[in-house]
Amino acid sequence: MLRLDLHTHSRYSPDSSLDVKEMLTTAVARGIHGISITDHNTLKGSVRALELGRDTSLIVVRGMEVSARDGHILGYGLEEDVPSGLTAGETVDRIVDQGGFAVAAHPYRFWSGLGEDVIRVTPFQALEVLNSRSVASHNQRVERLAQELGLPATGGSDAHRLSDLGRALVLVPEGIESEEEVLLALQKGLGRTAGTSRGSARTARYVAKSVREWVVRGFKRI
Ligand SMILES: [Zn+2]
Ligand SMILES: [Zn+2]
C-alpha cells in the first residue's frame, strides 16, 4: 500500500512555520509516498508543493483546510481558494463545484470541529477518521460515524512540526500515481488509515500551544 499524509500545515498557515521543501524532503525520508499541504484558508502551500514535488517521487495532492462557519473542512483537488466563513453546506458546494473532494476534518474537536449534527446534514464525500492531533476517543467516534453514514475514510497527521509528519496516514493501493487517482481511490472507499492518535503528553503540549497562539492572535480562532 502507498502511504499518504493528507493533512499538514506549512508556513502559509498562521500556526505553522514549516518550510514546504523541508516538509517534502522529510516525507520522502520517512517513506511517505504522497502528501497534501492543507494550509488554513489558502492553497499557497499546495501550489509550492506541486512545483517542488516534481523533483521528488512524491504524489502531491492539492488541498486546503477551510474555516467554515461551523468548523474546519478539508478540500482536495482544488484549483482556487475556497472562501472561509461560509456554512458547511456552502463550503462543500464550492469544493465540489471545482471538481474537488470535501472531507470533514477532526469532526469532534472542540472549537474547530463541525460536530455530528452538521455532518449528518451536509453531503461530505469522506470523513477524516484518523487525525494524529486528535485524542483516540475522538478518532474512534469519527470511525463509527463514517461506518454509520457509509462514508469513506481519510487520515493525516495535521502536522505543524516536522516531527509530526506521517504520524497518521491513509493507505491506498499500489500503482496509484496521481492526485486524481488518489481521490478516486478514496471516493471508492479504498483508503485505510494507519498511525497514532494524540497521547497525554502531547495533549498537554497541544493545549498549551493552542492557548498561547490564541492569545497572540488576539483571541481569534483560525
Ligand atoms: Zn483543523
Ligand atoms: Zn489542520
Taking the centre of ligand 2 as the mean of its atom positions, its distance from the CA of residue 36, in whole angstroms, is 11
220 pLDDT more than 90: no
Collect residues with CB below 5 Å from ion ligand 1: 72, 105, 112
Centroid of ligand 1 to alpha carbon of 40 (angstroms): 8
Q: What is the pLDDT of residue 178?
A: 97
At 201, list the grid cell.
Answer: 503528553
Could you tell me the CATH number of the domain that includes residue 184? Answer: 3.20.20.140
> What is the CA(157)–ligand 1 centre distance, in A?
11
65 CA to centre of ligand 2 in angstroms: 6
Q: Please indicate, yes or no, if residue 40 is contained in any of the structural domains.
A: yes
CA neighbor of 9 nearest in space, from 32, 43, 34? 43
**What is the β-pairing status of strands 101-104 and 63-68?**
unpaired
Confidence of residue 199 (pLDDT cuts 50, 70, 90): confident
Q: What's the 8 CA to ligand 2 centre distance in angstroms?
A: 6
The pairing of strands 126-131 and 2-8 is unpaired
- The string of pLDDT tens digits covering residues 135-186 is 999 999 999 999 999 999 999 999 999 999 999 999 999 999 999 999 999 9
**Residue 50 within a domain:** yes
Q: For residues 84 and 99, is the Cβ–Cβ distance under 8 A?
A: no
pLDDT at residue 154, rounded to an integer: 98
Residue 106 Cα to ligand 2 midpoint, Å, equals 8
- Examine residue 178 and state whether it is found in any structural domain, yes or no: yes
Ligand 2 centroid distance, CA of 42 (Å) = 12
- How do residues 5-54 score in pLDDT, each as one tens digit? 999 999 999 999 999 999 999 999 999 999 999 999 999 999 999 999 99
How many angstroms does the Cα of residue 199 sit away from the middle of ligand 1?
18
Q: Which residues pair with 172 in a beta bridge?
A: 2
**Which of 192, 195, 194, 197 minimizes the C-alpha distance to 137?**
197
Ligand nearest to the CA of 73: 1
Of the ligands numbered here, which is closest to the C-alpha atom of 107?
1
- 17 inside domain: yes
d(CA 63, ligand 2 centre) in Å: 11
| Residues 156, 124, 36: CA angle, nearest 5 degrees | 30
The pLDDT-based confidence of 201 (bands split at 50, 70, 90) is low
User: Domain range spanning residue 135?
Assistant: 2-216
Q: Is 68 helix (H, G, I), strand (E, B) or coil?
A: strand
The answer to the question of residue 97 being in a domain is yes
149 Cα to the center of ligand 2, angstroms: 23
Does 221 map to a domain?
no
Cβ-contact 108, 135 below 8 angstroms: no
- Does some domain include residue 13? yes
Query: What's the total number of domains in the chain?
Result: 1
pLDDT in tens, 12-26: 999 999 999 999 999
- What is the mean pLDDT of the segment spanning 64-88? 98
